[in-house]
Amino acid sequence: MAEYRPKVEQAAFRQAHEVRKKALARGARHTPRRGSSRIRT
């Protein structure tokens, strides 16, 4: 399963990355509820 990476997974990963970048750009003042711990780290 690790070898096979569907496009959907890649898209989701990219979206999460963009959200993290946006949060960092805003100064991480208001972080989204889901994945907040990941962004803080």
Predicted confidence at residue 29, as pLDDT, reads 62
CA distance 21 to 7: 21
* Tens digit of each residue's pLDDT (9 = 90 or more) over 1-41: 556 667 777 777 788 888 777 777 776 565 556 655 565 55
What DSSP character marks residue 26?
A: T
Predicted confidence at residue 15, as pLDDT, reads 82
Specify the residue for token string 């898209």. 11
- The verdict on pTM exceeding 0.85 is no
Predicted confidence at residue 16, as pLDDT, reads 80
Q: How many CB atoms lie within 10 A of CB 35?
A: 13
What DSSP character marks residue 1?
A: -
